[in-house]
Amino acid sequence: MSKLIRIRAYEYQELEDYAKDKFINHMFDTPFEYEDEDEEGNTIIKYNYFADMDLAEQIDFCEINKYLFNKHGELIGHLEEEA
């Protein structure tokens, strides 16, 4: 038998600093690749890290990806179901 439960979900900007830090540490293992050019015009791959973004960029990133968190900074969007 399944049960319906409610879980409080937070957006990134609503998290306490310790919870943001926990998510930043989690995201450190997954850099974002992007292409750039070197001095000779060759395409090279570079990496951006969530921790290197300023707060506004972090908030935008989480909003674009529709991330929801528990109060400890852990992703919980995967628990969401459409009714």
Helix (H) or strand (E) holding 35: strand 32-37
pLDDT of residue 80: 74
Rounded CA separation 63/58 (Å): 9
Residue 24's nearest CA partner among 78, 71, 74 is: 74
pLDDT of residue 83: 58
Contact 76, 68 (CB under 8 A): yes
Q: Tens digit of pLDDT per residue, the chain (83 long)?
A: 888 888 899 999 999 999 999 999 989 888 889 999 999 999 999 998 999 999 999 999 999 999 999 999 999 987 777 65
pTM of the model: 0.73
Ordered by start, the domain boundaries in the chain are: 12-79
Enumerate residues 6+ apart whose C-beta is below 8 A from 20: 12, 58, 73
